[in-house]
Amino acid sequence: MTIYKPELARINKIEKLTKTETFFDIELLSGKGLGHQPGQFVEVSIFGIGEAPISVSSAPSDLPTFQLCVRAIGNVTNALCSKKPGDKVGIRGPFGKGFELEYFKGKDILFVAGGLGLAPLRSLIWSVLNSRKDYGKVYILYGARRPQELLFREELKNWEERKDIEYHVTVDVWEENWQGHVGVITTLFPYIKFDLMKTQAVVVGPPIMYRFVIRELKNRRLPDENIWVSLERKMKCGLGKCGHCQINNIYVCQDGPVFNYKQIKDLPEAI
Amino acid sequence: MKNFVVGKGDFLDLIDRTVEDGKDVVAPVRQENQANFRRIKSTKEILWGGPQTVIPPKAFLFPQEEELVEYEVDGEIRIKATVEAKPVVLLGIHPCDINGTALLGKVFAEKNLDENYLKKREFVTIIGVECLIPCSPESFCYRKESILPWEGFDFFLTDMQDNFFVEVGSKKGESLILGVAKEATQSDVEKLKKIRRERDNLFNEKQRELKPKLGDLPKQLRENYDSPMWDERGARCFNCGSCNMVCPTCYCFDVRDCMELNLRQGNRSRFWDGCLLTDFTRVASGEIFREERGARLRHRTNRKDWYLFEKWGKSFCTGCGRCGKACLTKIVDPLDIENELWERKGQK
């Protein structure tokens, strides 16, 4: 056993969420749970193709299974998305630093998810919703490019109906039959009012989104240390060796991918 | 550890016997007009006091291509971790490279142990040799306090004309040399000191000066993060990655899968990668997180003389001069960079 040897895992269930995103329910053959923290990631192997870092999309639980939401965009993810239930893949991890649930307890939480950013954020959202009474107010803002690109639609419906959270969704581009809000994600901010002292904002989305959302939060005077982000980078090893994910002296795979904004705001290459 | 003295003939006989016994001995040899490490058949092949080898000895501990995992996909999937290591004697290693290897040892042994490296290291015997004249116009080891090894050698030779002075760095080294060497006397030690005084003077005179103080490099780089120098130099970068490949402390790697023609057996291997290459930070969506050439040059320099320097207390540039020599447009030499930043500050 070395740090580079993956464990075998079986794909239990596959569900196509959109044209490009697929949802996987996976279980290690050893039967051991993954034991992850929300926000952590795994390296998924397709033997003969390679490995890719993928955020875990499910909340930690007692179940032996965990879930991934994967966009078919590179060699590994395209191969992964063509797998069938029962097929095996390799897993290394979980890696990195995720969200410390204890820290968020008792606080109001504002989730801001852009596009595929909902995949990693979902692990934290459900961790919070699963023990809802441990947290203060919960806001979820979610934006996708087009209505047909919205992920986890059943769950979105649930969030919309729940009385114990405030949920807003938007799309950048209107399409026939879309009755909801249209506009980039920052256009949802006027709908919510949050308590600056009690709120932790957790922002996950494409690189460009961070700049606009963080500016919006700063305009409202939310302190830096109340803002959390998860950063995407190229990662080969997941263990702080291969060097690809380094931002100045920080290794995203070890020191992140989850960062407090205060920790990275002065790193010129981070956001 | 004790010090010894060994006759040159006796030492070479010892190595020749080792080669005859079938052990792998690797040493610098002349290839065309350059030096390169190669497995030797006789000590006559060794190039003593030559220029720095094109590729540093890291290639024997962290090869350009190294298998990490092999697998068989045949209905079931079987995965086996690969750890390859066999005894090798690395002979004639210059202090800059001994130190570079010691630094690699630190990073591969940090937290998540990299057995692929560490196992190889365990099997390698490092016999260093002191440089008494600068090996090339590009080197600046004296300026990086890397003229002598800090750690990480089994024994270290200094040429004393008829003899080698032998500093022992490990039990393995001591047991190797014990049979042919005698303990160094006070007069041997005095002679060594004199050689080193003269060597210091020579290096001080011949090697290019480092204008800022060595210990100030992290601070200087921090203060010059936004210097226009990075883009000026970066504009001349060909993104060839040569500086990364020839560096004794560059250890970034890519990982790739390769299948046999039968599409059943395959392996996953790592390959040297370089932070000066355009695609180094490219993710599947096409986003490149360090797009500017100047930013990539800055990242490499900062890694050597700031990030890793601060973390480990030693500069990750040992002054071997290889990158400066390999760089096609002469932009990468860390000593040049540090001096330019220092001079520009003076002009402000």
**pLDDT over threshold 60, residue A216:** yes
CB contact residues (below 8 A), chain B span 286-305, against chain A: 287, 289-290, 295, 299, 302-303
- How far apart CA B250 and CA B220 sit, in angstroms, is 21
> pLDDT exceeding 70 applies to what percent of chain B?
99
Distance from CA of A95 to the nearest CA of B (A): 11
Report yes or no: B112 at the A interface, CB cutoff 8 Å: yes
By CB atoms closer than 10 A (0-12, 13-18, 19+), residue A226 is: buried
**Mean pLDDT value across residues B252-263:** 96
**pLDDT over threshold 60, residue B348:** no
Report yes or no: A267 at the B interface, CB cutoff 8 Å: no
At A81-101, the pLDDT tens digits run 999 999 999 999 999 999 999
**One domain for residues A132 and A219:** yes
Total Cβ atoms within 10 A of residue B330: 12
Report yes or no: A6 at the B interface, CB cutoff 8 Å: yes
**One domain for residues A47 and A125:** no
Q: Which own/partner pairs from A245-250 qualify as long-range (CB within 8 Å, at least 24 positions apart)?
A: A246/B275, A246/B299, A246/B303, A247/B289, A248/B299, A248/B302, A248/B307, A249/B306, A249/B307, A249/B310, A249/B311
Report yes or no: B118 at the A interface, CB cutoff 8 Å: no
Q: Which of A244, A252, A266 best probes binding to B when mutated, by most B CB atoms within 10 angstroms?
A: A244
Identity of the amino acid at B74: D
Chain A CB contacts of B285 below 8 Å: 73
- How far apart CA A100 and CA A37 sit, in angstroms, is 8
Question: Does residue A260 lie in a domain region?
Answer: no
**pLDDT score, position A271:** 85
CB contact under 8 A, B285 and A73: yes
Q: What is the mean pLDDT of chain A?
A: 96
What sign does the CA torsion over A27, A29, A35, A39 have? negative
**One domain for residues A156 and A223:** yes
**One domain for residues A46 and A159:** no
Question: Does residue A243 lie in a domain region?
Answer: no
Considering A55, A70, A95, which residue would you say is the last residue of a domain?
A95
> pLDDT exceeding 90 applies to what percent of chain A?
96
**One domain for residues A156 and A193:** yes
Distance from CA of A144 to the nearest CA of B (A): 16
**pLDDT score, position B266:** 97
Total count of domains within chain A: 2
Closest partner residue to B69 (CB to CB) among A5, A247, A249 is A5
CATH code of the domain covering residue A116: 3.40.50.80
- How far apart CA B40 and CA B27 sit, in angstroms, is 7
Cis peptide, bond prior to residue A94, ω within 30 of zero: yes
Question: Does residue A162 lie in a domain region?
Answer: yes
**One domain for residues A70 and A51:** yes
Q: Which residue has the tokens 């995992």?
A: B69
**Mean pLDDT value across residues B96-113:** 96
Q: Which stretch of DSSP H or E encloses residue B346? A: helix B334-347
- How far apart CA B281 and CA B119 sit, in angstroms, is 29
**pLDDT score, position B175:** 92
Contacts of A39 (CB under 8 A, 6+ apart): A55, A96, A97, A98, A99, A120, A123, A124, A230, A257, A258
**Mean pLDDT value across residues B26-31:** 96
> pLDDT exceeding 70 applies to what percent of chain A?
100
Considering A95, A130, A164, which residue would you say is the last residue of a domain?
A95
Identity of the amino acid at B321: G
Chain A CB contacts of B75 below 8 Å: none
**One domain for residues A140 and A214:** yes
Report yes or no: A47 at the B interface, CB cutoff 8 Å: yes
**pLDDT over threshold 80, residue B1:** no
**pLDDT score, position B2:** 82
CB contact under 8 A, A241 and B259: no
At A3-47, the pLDDT tens digits run 999 999 999 999 999 999 999 999 999 999 999 999 999 999 999
Q: Backbone phi, then psi, for A29, in 5-degree steps? A: -65, -25
Nearest CA in chain A to B267: A48
Instruction: Enter the tokens of residue A180.
Output: 């909801």
At B262-278, the pLDDT tens digits run 999 999 999 999 999 99
**pLDDT score, position B75:** 83
Chain B CB contacts of A88 below 8 Å: 77
At B178-218, the pLDDT tens digits run 989 999 999 999 999 999 999 999 999 999 999 999 999 99
How much is the ipTM here? 0.93
Closest partner residue to B79 (CB to CB) among A6, A52, A239 is A6
**One domain for residues A37 and A150:** no
Burial B76-101 (b: 16+ CB within 10 A, else e): ebebebbbebeebbbbbbbbbbbbbb
Closest partner residue to B283 (CB to CB) among A75, A232, A269 is A232
Chain A CB contacts of B307 below 8 Å: 248-249
At A159-192, the pLDDT tens digits run 999 999 999 999 999 999 999 999 999 999 999 9
Residue A222, SS3 per DSSP: coil
**One domain for residues A62 and A27:** yes
Q: Backbone phi, then psi, for A47, in 5-degree steps? A: -70, 130
Question: Does residue A239 lie in a domain region?
Answer: no
Report yes or no: B270 at the A interface, CB cutoff 8 Å: yes
At B142-152, the pLDDT tens digits run 999 999 999 99
Q: Which of B68, B106, B281, B297 best probes binding to A when mutated, by most A CB atoms within 10 angstroms?
A: B281
Report yes or no: A50 at the B interface, CB cutoff 8 Å: yes
Question: Does residue A246 lie in a domain region?
Answer: no
**One domain for residues A91 and A105:** no
Query: Which pLDDT band holds residue B346 (cuts at 50, 70, 90)?
Result: confident
Residue A78, SS3 per DSSP: helix
**pLDDT over threshold 60, residue A258:** yes
CB contact residues (below 8 A), chain B span 192-251, against chain A: 225, 251
- How far apart CA B242 and CA B275 sit, in angstroms, is 10
- How far apart CA B245 and CA B293 sit, in angstroms, is 17
Question: Does residue A259 lie in a domain region?
Answer: no
Distance from CA of B56 to the nearest CA of A (A): 19
Contacts of A161 (CB under 8 A, 6+ apart): none
Report yes or no: B311 at the A interface, CB cutoff 8 Å: yes
At B267-315, the pLDDT tens digits run 999 999 999 999 999 999 899 999 999 999 999 999 999 999 999 999 9
Nearest-Å Rg of the Cα atoms of chain B is: 22
Domains of chain B, by residue range, sit at 3-206, 214-347
Closest partner residue to B113 (CB to CB) among A3, A5, A247 is A3
Closest-CA residue to B18 (of B183, B161, B180, B153): B180
Four-point Cα dihedral A113, A115, A116, A117, nearest 10: -20
Q: What is the domain extent for residue A164?
A: 101-230
By CB atoms closer than 10 A (0-12, 13-18, 19+), residue B190 is: exposed
**One domain for residues A120 and A200:** yes
At B53-81, the pLDDT tens digits run 999 999 999 999 999 999 999 889 999 99
Question: Does residue A241 lie in a domain region?
Answer: no
CB contact under 8 A, A243 and B252: yes
Q: Which residue has the tokens 């909340």?
A: A59
Closest-CA residue to B156 (of B131, B129, B121): B129
Question: Does residue A192 lie in a domain region?
Answer: yes
Nearest CA in chain A to B104: A241
CATH code of the domain covering residue A21: 2.40.30.10
Q: What is the mean pLDDT of chain B?
A: 96
Closest partner residue to B253 (CB to CB) among A6, A51, A242 is A242
At B325-342, the pLDDT tens digits run 999 999 999 999 999 999
If you ran DSSP here, which 8-state letter would residue A186 be given?
G
**Mean pLDDT value across residues A109-115:** 97
Report yes or no: A4 at the B interface, CB cutoff 8 Å: yes
Query: Which pLDDT band holds residue B347 (cuts at 50, 70, 90)?
Result: low
**One domain for residues A77 and A111:** no
Closest-CA residue to B255 (of A153, A217, A43): A43
CB contact residues (below 8 A), chain B span 44-73, against chain A: 68-69, 71, 73
